[in-house]
Structure 1
Amino acid sequence: MDIRLARIDDRLIHGQVATTWAKQTGINRIIVISDEVAKDSLRKFLLQEAAPPGIQSNIVTVARMLEIFDNALLASQKVMLLFTNPQDVEVLVRKGLQLDSLNIGGMRFVGGKRMVTNFVSVDEADIASFRYLDSQGIELDVRKVPTDRKVHLMDLFEK
């Protein structure tokens, strides 16, 4: 599997993903990795319908992704991995998924979180997962779209 983009965006497949990121990365498959979404048949259906023409989409649990990430059937696939949170990314990395970078495109504000940008909010669990991912040499960049200037997430925690 050729991972062209790993991205956290709790909106998952939407206009920015379907247009700019998909074109920029040249993918042919989007894999949404979320236990919550994988168990919701309506959300699964809507996300599969939201994928751009010519791009396959799958919605899988974290456990299922652990089973398939090194499967030979995905070897020729150019993939975008979409997550809703950094904890799921951390689980996969700890189990052997190799990532060079992780784009953080949107984490909504809810109670108990603090805003680090106008579109990224984190709590202590998020920060702990991001610190682990950073310690593994994974570049953590904050951008909504490919043309935005890269902002390194760890720099935002220092402020």
Structure 2
Amino acid sequence: MGKVIIARVDDRLIHGQVMTEMSKASGANAIFVVDNSTANDPFMKQIFLSSGTRTGLKIKIFSETQAITYWKEKQFENYNVILLAKTIQTFYKLAEAGIEINNLNIGNIGKLNHEENSKDVITTVSITKEELDLLDKLRDQYNIKVYFQTIPSSSIVKLDEADKLFK
């Protein structure tokens, strides 16, 4: 059975920090991207798949449905996975479907992707109240430790701190 070593929300998906710092520090041997638009875009999919050839990591690109099916049928095989998605909503769907996630790192959600009522939790993460509510559900219903951190060497902000922003 495979294991999700790191689950991360990052609207950039695979990039230098993920490929170098996170993969080396975690002991991961695979990166799974879960994003409907990327999974359905042959050009972007090929760019991400080719990034694995330089690192030795197995790269898989899934739609949300494909990722859930792969978990249900094969439990991610024997991979130690960095699981990446662009949105909190995607991780909520994955947890709801039974994918085992212990920790969720919220690393990068730019303000450009949100309306005016979003609030900055850390410099690279801006969330709405609705997204915060989903994160609280992930913690409370699925026992997932949620934290905000840009890169492994940066400081961690706990979900309780984000909750205070919306009170």
Length-normalised TM-score, structure 1: 0.92
Instruction: Note the C-alpha offset of 1:4.
Output: 0.8
Q: Which residue of 1 aligns with 2:161?
A: 155
Q: Which amino acid aligns with 2:163?
A: F
Q: Which residue of 2 aligns with 1:94?
A: 96
Q: Which runs of 5+ in 1 are unaligned?
A: none
Whether the 8 Å CA contact 1:31–1:82 is kept in 2: the answer is yes
Q: Which residue of 1 aligns with 2:129?
A: 124
Identity %: 25
Q: Which deviates more from structure 2 when the two are superposed, residues 123-132 or residues 134-143?
A: 123-132
Whether the 8 Å CA contact 1:30–1:82 is kept in 2: the answer is yes
Whether the 8 Å CA contact 1:31–1:57 is kept in 2: the answer is yes
* 1:74 partner SS: coil
Q: Which residue of 2 aligns with 1:56?
A: 58
Whether the 8 Å CA contact 1:7–1:104 is kept in 2: the answer is yes
Q: Which amino acid aligns with 2:93?
A: V
Whether the 8 Å CA contact 1:87–1:125 is kept in 2: the answer is no
Instruction: Note the C-alpha offset of 1:147.
Output: 1.9
User: What's the CA shift string for 1:52-105, capped at 9, x where partnerless?
Assistant: 521011110000111011433733111110010011111111111121110111
Instruction: Note the C-alpha offset of 1:116.
Output: 2.1
Q: Which runs of 5+ in 2 are unaligned?
A: none
Q: Which amino acid aligns with 1:8?
A: V
Q: Which deviates more from structure 2 when the two are superposed, residues 143-152 or residues 22-31?
A: 143-152
Q: Which amino acid aligns with 1:87?
A: Q
Looking at secondary structure, tell me which structure has more helix per residue: 2
Q: 1:153 to 1:50 in 2, by over 3 A?
A: farther
- How far apart, in 1, do the equivalents of 2:67 and 2:123 lie? 30
Matches within 5 A, 1:105-120: 105-110=107-112, 111-112=114-115, 113-120=118-125
Does the alignment pair 1:37 with 2:38?
A: yes
- How far apart, in 1, do the equivalents of 2:93 and 2:101 lie? 12
* 2:65 partner SS: helix
* 1:158 partner SS: helix
- How far apart, in 2, do the equivalents of 1:62 and 1:74 lie? 14
Instruction: Note the C-alpha offset of 1:49.
Output: 2.2
Q: Which deviates more from structure 2 when the two are superposed, residues 32-41 or residues 147-156?
A: 147-156
Instruction: Note the C-alpha offset of 1:151.
Output: 1.4
